[in-house]
């Protein structure tokens, strides 16, 4: 009967199982997919005045968290064959203010993560995957949400695993996930 994260067991149990189901070390449950993306972008260092690359063909909740961090969404158009962010159009949008890329796996399909990660690595960008529509979608045998720094999911009523409202993030980098955890719950440490 106790749902509250710090006294109940449900959230911790869910996080453990959700991380395992995705083959990842860490998961943090959130109130929504929007909150997961907000905390994820914060964790990879997006701050006021930064720019975040994101495709325009998505739900508005991919964009809102960027603006909440006082950063600027910079649109990278999609590949019309796949409807996903076109990696060939990324580099022309990168400048000294670009801090992160937020590929969206739209409509249950995967973005071209090998090419996106390669360009992100070259320019030292954080990678926050918006996998809200792509739970358990696979790309070359790897699951969406496991290929960047942090992967974000939604359990809102219209999604693959609905629970009314809810969300979660996954990641393997302890430092980033600790920062994520702290930002999502009043600045307290993981524990």
Ligand X SMILES: *Cc1c(COP(=O)(O)O)cnc(C)c1O
Residues 47-66 close enough to bind ligand X by CB under 6 A:
58-59, 61-62
Q: Within 13 A of 109's CA, how many CA atoms are on the CB side?
A: 12
- 99 or 105, CB closer to ligand X? 105
Pairing relationship of beta strands 72-75 and 51-54 according to DSSP bridges: parallel
Helix (H, G, I), strand (E, B) or coil at 145: coil
Is 89 annotated in the active site? no
- How many residues sit close enough to ligand X to count as binding (CB under 6 A)? 14
> What is the C-alpha separation between 7 and 74, in angstroms, rounded?
41
CB closer to ligand X, 103 vs 126: 103
Residue nearest to ligand X (CB): 33
The residue (of 90 and 169) whose beta carbon lies closer to ligand X is 169
CA–CA distance, 188 with 180 (Å, rounded to integer): 11
Touching ligand X, residues 98-157 (CB under 6 A): 104, 130, 132-133, 154, 156
Q: Cα–Cα distance between 156 and 128 in angstroms, integer?
A: 19
Which residue ranges make up the site for ligand X (CB under 6 A)? 32-34, 58-59, 61-62, 104, 130, 132-133, 154, 156, 167
């Amino acid at each position: 009967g106790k749902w509250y994260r710090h006294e109940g067991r449900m959230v911790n149990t869910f996080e453990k199982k959700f991380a395992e189901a995705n083959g990842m070390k860490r998961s943090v449950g959130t109130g929504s997919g929007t909150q997961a993306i907000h905390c994820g972008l914060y964790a990879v260092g997006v701050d006021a005045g930064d720019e975040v690359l994101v495709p325009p063909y998505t739900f508005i909740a991919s964009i809102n968290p960027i603006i909440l961090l006082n950063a600027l969404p910079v649109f990278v158009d999609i590949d019309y064959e796949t409807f996903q962010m076109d990696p060939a159009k990324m580099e022309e949008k990168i400048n000294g203010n670009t801090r992160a890329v937020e590929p969206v796996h739209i409509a249950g399909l995967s973005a071209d993560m090998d090419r996106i990660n390669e360009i992100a690595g070259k320019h030292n960008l954080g990678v926050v995957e918006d996998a809200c529509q792509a739970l358990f979608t696979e790309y070359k045998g790897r699951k969406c949400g496991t290929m960047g720094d942090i992967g974000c999911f939604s359990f809102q009523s219209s999604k693959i695993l609905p629970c009314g409202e809810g969300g979660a993030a996954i990641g393997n980098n302890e430092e980033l996930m600790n920062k994520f955890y702290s930002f999502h719950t009043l600045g307290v440490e993981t524990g």
